[in-house]
Amino acid sequence: MDENERAVMEGDAAQVKRASARRTRRSFLVGGVAAAAGYGAWYAIDNSKDSGRLQGGLRKMIDFDAAVNRAVWGERGMAPTYPPSEVAELRTNGTIGMDDPLKVDSWRLQLVGTADPERSPLFAKDVTAWQYEYAASDKPSELAPDYKTPPKEAGRGGPQAESLADKFNKMAQKLSGKRNQGTAEAGASYSSLNIGTPGLLLAMEDLAKLPKVELITQFKCIEGWSQIRQWAGYRLRDLMEMYPPQKVNGREPRYVYMETPDGDYYVGYDMKAARHPQSLLVTEMSGAPLTESHGAPLRLHTPIKYGYKQIKRIGLIAYTDLRPDDYWEKLGYDWYAGL
C-alpha cells in the first residue's frame, strides 16, 4: 500500500468515523427524545388520578392530539376543502360487516343512549330485535356455518371446545337480528348492545329532517392512498343536537360508538371528533346515492380520521361513557387514528 492509498484509506476511515459519530449523536438524540416522551407518557398515565389511572392519562393524550390538530389546521381545526374539479373517480376498500346485500327498505338506524327515549314516537323497547333484511346471496341466511373460532384460540391440538364467548355470540345472533357477528378477524365487539336495550329506531325520512350538507375533502386510507371526494349527508353533530345524549353523573358521556347491522365492523369516537363540523353521516358520494359497496344507505365520513374510522353501512349509533371497542384497534392500529 503506498502513501497515497493509505491517505485515502485513512481519509475514508476518518470520514467514516466522523459520520458514524454524527450518526451516533443523532440516534442518541432521537433515542433520548423518544425515551423522554415515553417516560412522559408513562409518568402521566401512572400519576393521573381521575377516573382510573390509565383512562386519565389516555384522555390527556387524546386532548393533546386534538390540540395538535388545531395547531395544524388553524383555530377551528378544519380540514381543507376542494373545488369539484378535483374530485376523483371513486375506488372502494373494505367490506367487513357488509357480507350480504342489505335491503335498504329494511334499514333503520338504532340510536341508543339518548335522553328520555320513551317520550319519542321512535322509541323501541329493544332496538336489537330489529330485523334487517338481506337480499338473496350464496350465503345461508341463518347462522353462518363457517363461523370461525377467534384466531388467538386456534391452533391447539384436538377438537376445539366452544368458548363461552362463542356460545354467547351464537345465542345473541339468534335472539337479535345480528348475523355473522364476530366472524371477521377482530372478533365480536365488547361494545355491542345487550339484548333488550331500549332506544330509538330512525328511518331515513327521520334523518332527512336534519339540514343537508355537502363537503369536498380528502379521504385517506392508512394503506397509503388518498382521494378527494364529494360527500353529502347530515352532520353527526346535528343528529346529536336533535337527539341529545342522556347525561351520565350530570355530564355528557364521552364517546360515540357505531357498528354495522350485523355487528361485525365497529368503531368508537370521542365527542370532539363526533361533534366536528366536518363529521358527516353520508348518504351520497360524487353526487349520487351511496352505493352498496360504499356503505348504503348510511356511512360516516370525517376528514380528521383515517379511512378505517369511517364506517360504512351504519346500523347502530350509541352514546357511551365507556371507551368503545374498535375493530382495527384490536388488530394493532391506533384508536384515535387522527390526521
Ligand X SMILES: Nc1nc2c(c(=O)[nH]1)N[C@H]1C(S)=C(S)[C@@H](COP(=O)(O)O)O[C@H]1N2
Which of 107, 130, 234, 265 lies at the binding interface for ligand X (CB under 6 A)? 265
The one of ligand X, Mo ion, none whose footprint includes residue 313, by CB under 5 to 8 A per kind, is ligand X
Peptide bond into 80 cis (omega under 30): no
Which of 117, 307, 315, 324 lies at the binding interface for Mo ion (CB under 5 A)? 307
Give the binding range for Mo ion (CB under 5 A) out of 107-115, 167-175, 215-223, 247-255: 215-223
* Residue 88 to residue 166: CA distance in whole angstroms: 42
The one of ligand X, Mo ion, none whose footprint includes residue 18, by CB under 5 to 8 A per kind, is none
Residue 87 in the binding site for ligand X (CB under 6 A): no
Which of 24, 47, 92, 137 lies at the binding interface for ligand X (CB under 6 A)? 92
Name the grid cell of 46: 401512572
- Convert residues 266-305 into a mask of x (bound to Mo ion by CB under 5 A) and - (unbound): ----------------------------------------
C-beta of 45 vs 221, nearer to ligand X: 221
Phi then psi dihedrals of residue 36, to 5 deg: -65, -45
* Residue 130 to residue 143: CA distance in whole angstroms: 17
Which of 108, 179, 276, 294 lies at the binding interface for ligand X (CB under 6 A)? 294
* Residue 293 to residue 180: CA distance in whole angstroms: 18
The one of Mo ion, ligand X, none whose footprint includes residue 131, by CB under 5 to 8 A per kind, is none
Residue in this structure with the C-alpha cell 365487539, named with its chain if needed: 189
Which of 58, 79, 98, 193 lies at the binding interface for ligand X (CB under 6 A)? 98
What 8-state DSSP symbol labels residue 108?
-
- The DSSP code sequence of 80-143 is P---GGGPPPP-----TT--S-B-GGG--EEEESBSSGGGSTTEES-GGG----B---SS-SSS
Note the residues at the interface with Mo ion (CB under 5 A): 221, 307-308
